C-alpha cells in the first residue's frame, strides 16, 4: 500500500522514515553565501590544523600519565596523525570530487569529532595513537572538501583572497595549538582532545543546515596502491629518523629502514607516472605556479613542524616552565599569522609577485630561528631570546603559507580544485612529519643541560638552513615575469586547456 506525501508515492512500510527525513529537510535554511561558507568550513579547518600541534604542549604531561618518556616513541602521537593525514588527503580529495562536497566535509568533521572523544579517553599510548590515526582520516576527508567548497562558491576574482583567508586561518590555528594547549593541559592533557567535540558538533550542525549543495563529477576509482606506497614510505622514513640515535647511524637496521623507505617512495613516483589512474594527475606538476607552490609547501613545512616542537620542548624541558607559561609565551608569534596573512600578503603579492613574498617570508622565518640559536641560554630569557624569534617566525608563516597555498590552488582549473588542494596539503603534512623526525634525530637524547643547549642549537641551525632553502625555492620556482599556466590539465569537456608557456 502506498501513501501520497508532497506529491510523491511512498510505501506505507517506509512512511516513518520518509516523514522523518522530509521533516529534517524542512529544517534547512537558505544556502549560505560565499563568505558564510568560508566561515563554516574554517571551523573544520581549525579542528584539523589546531590538532596538529595542540598536543605538542601535552607531550610531557602525557608521558608522565601514560608512563612513556622516550621522545622518539612519543613523537608518533604527532607523526602517526600527520603521516596518515598526508597519505589520505589526495585519496579522499579524489573521492570528494565524485560526490557532493558538503557531504564529504560533514562526514569528515563527524569522524574527527568522535575520534577526538576517543583520544581523550585513551587508557594507554597505543590506543591513543590508534585513535589519532582515525582522527587523521576524518581530517583528510574534511580538508579537501572544505577548500573545494570555498573555491566553488567564491567568484573567480575573489578566489585568491578566499584561499589566503582559508590558509591563514589554518596556519594560525596550527600555530595557536601550543597556546590553547597550555591552558588545556593545566586541566588535563585529555582536554586537548575533548575541546574538539563541541566545535566539531557545531560545525556539523551548522554545516548541515546551511552549506550549499556542490555536486561532484564522474571520476575514476582512486588509486589505493599509490596511497599505500606513499604512506609506507613516509612512515619508514620517519621511523628511521626518529630512531637513528638509539639504533645508531651506521647500523644495518637503520640503513635497511631508510633504503626501504627510499625504494617505496621511488616506487610511488614510478607508479604515479605509469599507472592509468594514479593517485593524482602528474600533469598537475606541469602547471608552473602549482609546481613551485608544491615545492615550497614541502620544504617550508619541514621547517615549520620542527620549529613548533623545538621551542615548546625548549621552554618546558630546558627552562622548566609549565605548559601554561609556555603557551602564553608563544602567543605573540601566532598573532602575526592572521595579521600578515589576511592584511599584508595580498597587496604584497600584487606588487612583487608570489616568489618574492615567499622569499621574504621564509627569510624572516630563518632569521627568527637564527635569533633563537644565537641567544640560546639555559637561564630563562624570554624578552631577549624567545620573544623576538617568535615574532619573526610568526611574520614568516603569515607571509609564506597563505602565498604558496593561494598561488598553487589559484593556478588550477575548477575540475582539479579538490585534488590539487589535497596535493598541496599532502605535501604540507609530509613536511611536518619529516620536520618532527629530523628535529628528533638531530637533538638526540642529551643527558645534561649543557648537552641539551648544544643539541638545540644544532637543531635550530638545521631548521634555519631549511627555511633558507624554502626562500630560495620560492624565489626561483615562482619568479615573476612568466604567466601562470594550466599545461596539460584536462578541461571538463575532455579537451586540454590552452597553455601559455611550454611545460
Q: Mean pLDDT across the stretch 247-251?
A: 87
CA distance 185 to 240: 30
Q: Mean pLDDT across the stretch 98-125?
A: 89
The number of angstroms, rounded, from the C-alpha of 413 to the middle of its chain's C-alpha atoms is 22
pLDDT at 482 over 80: no
Question: What does the buried/exposed string (b/e) look like for 375-389 if buried means 16 or more CB atoms within 10 Å of the residue's CB?
Answer: ebeeeeeeeebbbbb
Under the banding of pLDDT at 50, 70 and 90, the label for residue 130 is: very high
Q: Which tens digit of pLDDT belongs to each residue from 370-408? A: 999 999 999 999 999 999 999 999 999 999 998 998 888
Residue 430 CB contacts under 8 Å (≥ 6 apart), including other chains: 82, 83, 86, 234, 298, 301
Contact 256, 235 (CB under 8 A): no
Residue 416 has what pLDDT? 72
Rounded (5°) CA angle 346-350-356: 90
Q: DSSP letter string over 370-411?
A: HHHHHH--SS--IIIIIHHHHHHHHHHHHHHHHHHHHHHHHT
Q: Mean pLDDT across the stretch 294-308?
A: 94
Residue 344 CB contacts under 8 Å (≥ 6 apart), including other chains: 398, 399
Least confident of 33-47, 262-276, 465-479: 33-47
3-state helix, strand, coil in the chain (%, to 5): 80, 0, 20
Q: Which tens digit of pLDDT belongs to each residue from 408-421? A: 877 877 667 667 77
Residue 486 CB contacts under 8 Å (≥ 6 apart), including other chains: 287, 411, 412, 413, 497, 499
CA distance 185 to 230: 34
Q: Mean pLDDT across the stretch 443-452?
A: 89
Greater confidence (500 vs 454) lies with 454
User: Among 31, 48, 39, which Cα is nearest to 422's?
Assistant: 48
Side-chain half-sphere exposure of 491, counting CA atoms within 13 A: 6
Residue 193 has what pLDDT? 93
pLDDT at 498 over 60: no
Q: Which tens digit of pLDDT belongs to each residue from 453-467? A: 999 999 999 999 999
CA distance 188 to 61: 8
Using only the alpha carbons of the chain, give its radius of gyration.
Answer: 23
Contact 207, 145 (CB under 8 A): no
CA distance 30 to 17: 24
CA distance 503 to 500: 9
pLDDT > 90: percent of the chain: 38
Least confident of 128-132, 138-142, 148-152, 331-335: 148-152
Contact 488, 283 (CB under 8 A): yes
Mean pLDDT of the chain: 82
CA distance 194 to 235: 27
Residue 38 has what pLDDT? 76
Amino acid at each position: 500500500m502506498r501513501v501520497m506525501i508532497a506529491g510523491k508515492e511512498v510505501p506505507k512500510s517506509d512512511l516513518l522514515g520518509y516523514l522523518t527525513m522530509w521533516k529534517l529537510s524542512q529544517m534547512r535554511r537558505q544556502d549560505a553565501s560565499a563568505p558564510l561558507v568560508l566561515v563554516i568550513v574554517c571551523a573544520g579547518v581549525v579542528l584539523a590544523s589546531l590538532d596538529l600541534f595542540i598536543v605538542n604542549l601535552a607531550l610531557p604531561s602525557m608521558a608522565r600519565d601514560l608512563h612513556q618518556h622516550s621522545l622518539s616513541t612519543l613523537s608518533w602521537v604527532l607523526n602517526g596523525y600527520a603521516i596518515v593525514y598526508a597519505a589520505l588527503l589526495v585519496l579522499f580529495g579524489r573521492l570528494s570530487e565524485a560526490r557532493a562536497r558538503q557531504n564529504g566535509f560533514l562526514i569528515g568533521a563527524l569522524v574527527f569529532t568522535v575520534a577526538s572523544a576517543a583520544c581523550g579517553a585513551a587508557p594507554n599510548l597505543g590506543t591513543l595513537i590508534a585513535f589519532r590515526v582515525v582522527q587523521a582520516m576524518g581530517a583528510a576527508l574534511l580538508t579537501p572538501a572544505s577548500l573545494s567548497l570555498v573555491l566553488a562558491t567564491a567568484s573567480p576574482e575573489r578566489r585568491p583572497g578566499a584561499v589566503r583567508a582559508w590558509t591563514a586561518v589554518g596556519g594560525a590555528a596550527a600555530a595557536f595549538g601550543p597556546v590553547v594547549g597550555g591552558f588545556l593541559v593545566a586541566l588535563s592533557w585529555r582536554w586537548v582532545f575533548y575541546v574538539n567535540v563541541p566545535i566539531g558538533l557545531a560545525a556539523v550542525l551548522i554545516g548541515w543546515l546551511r552549506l550549499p549543495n556542490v555536486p561532484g563529477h564522474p571520476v575514476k576509482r582512486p588509486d589505493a596502491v599509490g596511497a599505500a606506497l606513499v604512506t609506507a614510505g613516509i612512515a619508514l622514513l620517519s621511523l628511521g629518523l626518529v630512531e637513528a640515535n638509539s639504533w645508531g647511524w651506521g647500523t644495518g637496521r637503520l640503513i635497511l629502514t631508510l633504503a626501504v623507505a627510499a625504494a617505496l617512495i621511488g616506487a610511488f613516483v614510478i607508479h604515479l607516472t605509469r599507472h592509468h589512474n594514479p593517485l593524482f594527475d602528474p600533469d598537475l606538476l606541469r602547471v608552473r605556479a602549482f609546481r613551485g607552490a608544491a615545492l615550497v609547501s614541502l620544504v617550508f613545512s619541514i621547517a615549520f613542524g620542527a620549529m613548533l616542537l623545538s621551542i615548546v620542548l625548549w621552554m618546558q624541558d630546558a627552562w622548566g616552565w609549565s605548559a601554561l607559561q609556555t603557551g602564553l609565551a608563544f602567543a605573540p608569534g601566532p598573532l602575526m599569522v592572521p595579521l600578515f596573512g589576511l592584511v599584508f600578503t595580498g597587496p604584497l603579492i600584487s606588487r612583487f609577485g608570489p616568489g618574492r613574498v615567499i622569499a621574504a617570508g621564509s627569510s624572516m622565518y630563518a632569521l627568527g630561528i637564527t635569533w633563537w640559536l644565537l641567544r640560546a641560554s639555559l637561564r630563562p630569557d624570554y624578552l631577549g631570546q624567545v620573544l623576538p624569534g617568535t615574532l619573526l617566525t610568526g611574520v614568516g608563516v603569515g607571509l609564506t603559507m597563505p602565498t604558496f597555498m593561494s598561488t598553487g590552488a589559484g593556478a588550477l582549473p575548477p575540475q582539479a580544485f579538490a585534488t590539487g588542494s589535497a596535493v598541496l596539503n599532502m605535501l604540507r603534512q609530509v613536511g611536518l612529519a619529516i620536520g618532527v623526525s629530523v628535529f628528533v634525530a638531530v637533538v638526540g637524547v642529551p643527558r645534561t643541560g649543557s648537552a641539551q643547549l648544544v643539541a638545540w642549537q644544532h637543531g635550530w641551525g638545521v631548521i634555519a638552513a631549511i627555511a633558507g632553502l624554502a626562500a630560495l625555492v620560492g624565489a626561483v620556482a615562482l619568479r615573476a615575469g612568466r604567466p601562470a599556466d594550466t599545461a596539460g590539465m584536462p578541461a571538463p569537456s575532455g579537451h586540454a586547456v590552452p597553455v601559455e608557456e611550454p611545460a
